[in-house]
Amino acid sequence: MAAPKPIGMKQLFSEAGQSQQIHQLKVQIEELETELTQLRSGMLNAEEKAALEEQVKGLTDQLAYSGGVHEIEIQRIKPDPEQPRQTFPLYQLQERAESLRRHGQKTPIVLIPQPQSEYILFDGELRWRAAQLIGWHTLKAVLLPKQQILAAEEVFLGQLVTSIHSQKLHDLDLATALVKLIVYKYPDLKQFQADIPKTLNTAITQLRREQKHLELNQIRLASEQEQQEWLETAGLRKIEELEVITVLLGLQLNPISINNNIFPLMSLASDLKQVIRTEGLESSKARELNKLSAEQLNVDEVEALALRESITQKVIQSKLSLGDVKRLVNDTLAQYCPKKATQVSKIIKLSKTIQDFKVQTADREGLMSLQQILTDKLAEIQQALKQ
């Protein structure tokens, strides 16, 4: 059986000059590509998302009317390898699967035809995954010609930019995507991509020495030219440090936040990464559970893995809060390594003292002195956490 033919844009709109309606449809379909990318990345609030979903559905319906809806075998469909989102929690898949079971597939997925009658997902990966859970063999789809899609790097950048503040994009996905984008922009870093988080940490340390780190939050919002001028005087010594910082600032991200909260997820234990992918485990909880390492517990790797997996399942099944997770981890460390638990207890007390400190009642000179002490100590803490 011959593969269904993709929508030929030239053929579809060859009489655009003769029909205003067809001309308008062409414009709408071009907008669809951008809107599908936005919708897939999730950078929208609930109201905006609902409105855009309705609009995209209308445009997809028109695309289906013009080019036809095809029943495509699921096994011939592959996920988009450039998709920043890699986390699809099981509960989301189950919800979508139940919706498909009860109501059927209301909207076709959008595919890019590939050689040998295969297809790449442009939109609809959640539906594609969910359909497999309920044993479906085909999905309704509309086809986009490959030449209408931007180059892989441009598509990926567009997906990532619109995903930066998305609640759907997990921090682990963001960390992985940022490394990938940095390598896209600077191919010379490809063989060193595993060291990119370390390179960023070294750069932040250098910026602290130069007293430039406090300017990052402001300079990230500056123009590209202003950012480049700032980087030239920032005191960074290695070209790879400049390249990493340049990409992050170009995305209007604060490198300190990425260094402290995002890139550390790449060093999580592999079992915790898997739980993030399948269960959507929050990054803050994953970082706490990662403390249950063989070194911290003073046991071998096999025993540490078994214990960590057991506690992780308890966290997920009982839906424990972050505070509960911290207490559970600290209690476990106390059981296996009392000396380290005592140190943790002291740190918690110190943190409470700092939180209770009344900043408003302190004089300016004292606050400046305290700020310097805390800044230096924070740099030490970050270095210790990287080791």
Residues counted in the chain = 387
Confidence band (pLDDT; 50, 70, 90) for 358? confident
pLDDT reported for residue 324: 94
DSSP state of 273: H
Confidence band (pLDDT; 50, 70, 90) for 36? very low
Mean pLDDT of the region 93-112: 89
pLDDT reported for residue 75: 94
Mean pLDDT of the region 206-221: 91
Residue 136 has pLDDT above 90, yes or no: yes
Mean pLDDT of the region 355-379: 77
Residue 5 has pLDDT above 60, yes or no: no
Residue tagged 């930066």 (tokens): 164
Residue 237 has pLDDT above 90, yes or no: no
pLDDT reported for residue 39: 45
The number of angstroms, rounded, from the C-alpha of 248 to the middle of its chain's C-alpha atoms is 14
Confidence band (pLDDT; 50, 70, 90) for 60? low
Q: What is the largest CA-CA distance in the chain?
A: 82
Amino acid, res. 33: E
Rounded distance between C-alpha atoms, residue 166 and residue 157, angstroms: 15
pLDDT reported for residue 29: 46
Task: Between 168 and 245, name the one with better pLDDT.
Answer: 245
The number of angstroms, rounded, from the C-alpha of 161 to the middle of its chain's C-alpha atoms is 11
Q: Are strands 138-143 and 70-73 parallel, antiparallel or unpaired?
A: antiparallel
The mean of the pLDDT values for the chain is 79
Mean pLDDT of the region 327-336: 90
Residue 373 has pLDDT above 90, yes or no: no
CB neighbours (10 Å) of residue 81? 9
12: buried, middle or exposed (CB in 10 Å: 19+, 13-18, 0-12)? Answer: middle
Mean pLDDT of the region 270-281: 92
pLDDT reported for residue 336: 85
